[in-house]
Amino acid sequence: MLRVVACIDGSRAAPAVCDYAAWAGQRMDCPLMLLHVLDEERYPVAPDMTGNIGLGSREHLLEELADLDQKRSKLALEHGHHMLNDAQRRVEQQGATDIVQRQRHGDLTESLLALEQETRLLVIGLHGESSSDRDLHIGSQLETIIRSVHRPIMLVPDDYTEPHSAMLAFDGSATAFAGVELLAGSPVFRDMPLHLVMIGPDTHDRREQLSRAERKLSGPGIDVHVAIRAGDVEQSLHTYQEEHNIDLLVMGAYGHSRIRQFLVGSTTTNMLKTARKPLVILR
């Protein structure tokens, strides 16, 4: 069974992750999975001491450290269980009814890949547990997840606002049109304005591509707007989003276009850092 998977941790974005996951689940009529992954590097199941030769009098100290690691892992698992219970109560208040909890011990990306066949949409916070008021850096594993997980990913800020409009960063490639068809068939975007935005020169070919995409999206309950903007991809998309007060930015990993270069290139971190509203990455 496909589910909306919400990654729950101790970050300030966790409540918003719950709210956006509940919203998406209701729009898609899709059950929820609340997932908590305990980092195996921070909380090892059992320390590896095979490389410690000639321990001598230090052996008891290492054993005590091992005991402490095991206690920390046990407490962290218990804390994670409480977080999942709190998350379930929150999504239930938002109207969700079909909910499962999963707790895993290991690498986050590997855990998400193991659940990929059960995932319809992944919801995860833009900021990790270590972010502070002075340093709202993106989650340390976020780019790895974006590159690895082949399911739509919703990256959400710390505060929830119900989405009422969306824009798609469009580049005219074959996979971009596949993304348009995905949006056209998704109940998430029904009854909300949808903007198709291309970044680059305003040419006849680009206008034709936008017209084709617009025709694919046109239908009952879909209000489509198209635009071409010149300039830097990151700044142009943000500016358009702000000008039209758009709630969701939808992007895809498209071919070798400027959007593709932007998504997997050095500006990815800057885009995620400056995001104030959710981003949906289509894979």
Last residue of a domain, one of 156, 187, 204: 156
Q: Which residue has the tokens 């009098």?
A: 57
CB 282 within 8 Å of CB 250: yes
- Here the tokens at position 122 are 């992944």
Residues 109 and 204 in one domain: no
Q: Is the pTM of this model over 0.85?
A: no
Residues 151 and 14 in one domain: yes
CATH of the domain at 264: 3.40.50.620
Residues 170 and 152 in one domain: no
Per-residue pLDDT of the chain (283 residues; tens, 9 = 90+): 899 999 999 888 999 999 999 999 999 999 999 999 987 655 555 555 555 545 555 666 767 766 776 777 777 778 888 999 999 999 999 999 999 999 998 889 999 999 999 999 999 998 766 554 444 445 557 878 888 899 999 999 999 999 999 999 888 877 778 778 888 888 888 888 999 999 899 999 999 999 999 998 877 667 899 999 998 888 888 899 999 999 998 887 544 455 555 444 444 566 667 778 898 888 7
Distance, CA of 64 to CA of 69 (rounded, Å): 9
Please choose, from the candidates 197, 31, 48, 202, the residue with its C-alpha nearest in 3D space to the C-alpha of residue 119.
31
Residues 6+ apart with CB under 8 A from 164: 192, 193, 247
Asked, for residue 19, whether it belongs to a domain, the answer is yes
Residues 12 and 112 in one domain: yes
Residues 21 and 121 in one domain: yes
CB 148 within 8 Å of CB 116: no
Last residue of a domain, one of 110, 135, 156: 156
Structurally, how many domains does the chain consist of? Answer: 2
Residues 216 and 244 in one domain: yes
Could you list the residue range(s) of the whole structural domain that residue 221 is in?
166-277
